[in-house]
Amino acid sequence: MYVCICNAVTEKDIHRAVKQGVSSLDQLSEVTAVSLRCGSCQKKACQALETALSNL
């Protein structure tokens, strides 16, 4: 499922990034470009990031 429509970032992309060492929204944006356009996905991106981190 898409978290960021603007940049086509999915929950799977976020989980993959976390497995590669991402641990903050800034890092996640650098790696996936999530939240770098309209920004409306920021809350969902944070939630997905927290979920991914808690599943490590």
CB of 44 to ligand FES, least distance (A): 8
Phi, psi of 2 (to 5 degrees): -75, 135
Termini Cα distance of the chain: 20
Q: Is residue 43 part of the contact set for ligand FES (CB under 6 A)?
A: no
Shortest CA distance to 22 belongs to which of 40, 35, 37? 35
Q: Is residue 5 part of the contact set for ligand FES (CB under 6 A)?
A: yes
Give me the 17-36 binding string for ligand FES, x by CB under 6 A, dash otherwise: ------------------xx
Interacting residues toward ligand FES by CB under 6 A: 4-7, 35-41
